[in-house]
Amino acid sequence: MKKFSLLEEPWIPVLREGRVEEVGLREALLQAHNITRIETPSPLEEAALHRLLLAVLHRALMGPRRLEDVLDWWRAGRFPEGPLTNYLDRFADRFFLFHPKTPFFQVADLPEENALPWSKLLPELASGNNPTLFDHTTEENVPKVAYAQAARALLVHQTFALGGLLRRFGVASAKDAPVARPALFLPTGGNLLETLLLNLVPYTPEEDAPIWEVPPLRLADLEGGRTKWPIAGRTRVYTWPTRGVRLLDEGGGVRFMGYGPGVEPLEATYRDPMVAQRLDSRGNLAALRLSEDRSFWRDFSAMLPRQGGKVAATVEHAENLQGELEDGGEEARVALRVLGQVSDQAKVLDVRREVYPLPPGLLCPEAEGKLEKALKDAEELGRGLQGLALQVARAVVGERDRKELTDFARSLPLGRLYWHALDGAFPGFLARVGEGEALGLWQEALKRAALEAWAATRLFLGTEARHLKAVAEGERVLGRLLGELKEVVK
């Protein structure tokens, strides 16, 4: 029996008129101009939902072919209703969460035997190989989840599943989802319509099709890794069937699912519009990832052309759109959300969302140069403070035990507080990077961060003679570092 249409039933969480509510996919697109944004605490869910909406738009509008198409829709203040409605009506039967032949993003004949808990779909939940990140769900006590949440979890898993052992239906292991590990770049505007347009990068619809436009997958297609598709075609990748899943309806909710291999990805010449690249140590372009122990902004310049990188196409598109709007006397306030997960092998260590301003003109050579210099200065001062911490530790504990020396240096709050302060200061610098005094203000932020971190470190140390000696030595080194910073920035 067909049940829970994702086009009509509420399941996408949005912020509208100051209130969070859930809407169906049809309403999210046709009323995007009246919706502030997709509102979810999960960064992965935010990215996956946007990719689904973008896939529908690309296919329904068969474009945009050019930036001018996006400008027309922006100025119209809404998406063209006719083509969108016709497209959704045409494929309505493929958007039911439960359907005897074509359940959305699932495999209808996947066996119910050896079912897994639905919580395996979300890395934030403790299940299987997932470490405990934010919750303490156990597989012995799996709660029944509402259809809306099950649908969102399904979407997240298909978008971000990590490769690893599988041992089902003749398949021993499975590969990553196409964007499981890179950071994803999502420019956002004043409402959902603007956000979608900022990410609707010009597109060639030929030789591409999302999962609902192709024949539904069956277990026989997936057994033994039989079905392999090249990673190519934007909406195909946006809706890649990474795993075979069949949500098992318990009436009013889902507790378990059939689970198996998905379509095996084959390498192809394709670059995801939301992914940026940097040069790796061998001089090859590699997808930019989030790091477990540092904020993304410290790698911001790595994706810029000056360092051989490539910004995400969504960022470049947003920059171009902003420029065209400014030329027409219009203004677009754009923020950049960097979304993704930090992983080690098949384990998710963290899920992240970082938000930065995206000022017009960020990608011009002058702004890139300032950004590069600012980050270089921050790293050099950071390394200097690291050396200072070691010097202070040496004055306190001596050189007898190297491990004791380095452990003591790491325990000092100096580096931690320095970077924490800059985490807060960087968005302000980025917003003003096009202004003449931006680097001078950043210099002040670096000094302030270093001095405040040192003040806290002084309090951390004791008052014995060796501690006072360490403080005196530390202040001498700090003065030299700040003096060098002044020389560099000038």
Residue 464 in this model has a pLDDT that exceeds 90: no
Contact criterion met (CB below 8 Å) for 348 and 342: yes
Compute the average pLDDT of residues 207-216: 96
Residue environment code for 381-410, b if the CB has 16+ CB neighbours within 10 A, otherwise e: bbebbbebbbbbbebbbeeeeeeebeebbe
What band does 331 get if pLDDT is binned at 50, 70 and 90? Answer: confident
Specify the range with the lowest mean pLDDT, choosing from 20-24, 129-133, 447-451. Answer: 129-133
- The mean pLDDT of 204-211, rounded to a whole number, is 94
Tens of pLDDT along 3-27? 999 999 999 999 999 999 999 999 9
Q: Please determine, for residue 276, whether its predicted confidence score (pLDDT) is greater than 80.
A: yes
CA distance 271 to 248: 35
3-state secondary structure of 333: coil
C-beta separation of 122 from 156 below 8 A: yes
Of residues 359 and 142, more confidence is placed in 359
Which among 247, 41, 234, 85 is positioned nearest to 155, based on CA atoms? 247
Structure tokens at 154: 């399904």
Higher per-residue confidence, 104 vs 122: 104
- The structure tokens 């769900």 sit at 137
Pick the CATH number of 366-485 from 1.10.132.100, 1.10.3720.10, 3.40.309.10, 3.40.50.720: 1.10.132.100
- Cα torsion 382, 387, 390, 394: sign: negative
- H or E stretch covering 386: helix 365-397
Residue showing tokens 């030329």: 327
- The pair phi, psi for residue 5, each rounded to 5°, is -75, 125
Measured CA to CA, the distance from residue 122 to residue 124 in angstroms comes to 5
- The two tokens of residue 113 are 């035997």
Which regions of 296-396 does DSSP assign to beta strands (E)? 335-344, 347-357
Cβ atoms of 41 and 65 within 8 Å: the answer is no
267 contacts: CB under 8 Å, gap ≥ 6: 230, 231
Q: How far apart are CA 213 and CA 91, in angstroms?
A: 8
| pLDDT score at 484 | 85
Nearest to 51 by CA among 286, 242, 217: 242
Cβ atoms 382, 376 nearer than 8 A? no
Please, where in the chain does CATH 1.10.132.100 lie? Answer: 366-485
Task: Find how far residue 99's CA is from the centre of its chain.
Answer: 31
Tell the residue number behind the tokens 């809706």, with chain if given: 239
**Residue 169 has what DSSP assignment?**
T
pLDDT of residue 136: 54
The SS3 assignment for 378 reads helix
3-state class of 182 per DSSP? Answer: strand
Q: Which of 351, 352, 343 is nearest to 129 (CA)?
A: 343
Q: How far is CA 342 from CA 136, 178, 288, 395, 427, in A?
A: 20, 15, 11, 37, 22
- Backbone phi and psi for residue 76, each to the nearest 5 degrees, phi listed first: -70, -20
pTM of the model: 0.93
Q: Contact 453/418 with Cβ under 8 angstroms? A: yes
Q: Distance between CA atoms of 255 and 274, rounded to whole angstroms? A: 33
Write out pLDDT tens, residues 466-486: 888 889 999 999 999 998 876
For the cut 70, the answer to whether the pLDDT of residue 29 exceeds it is yes
Half-sphere exposure of 447 (CA within 13 A, CB side): 16
The span from the first CA to the last CA of the chain, in angstroms, equals 71
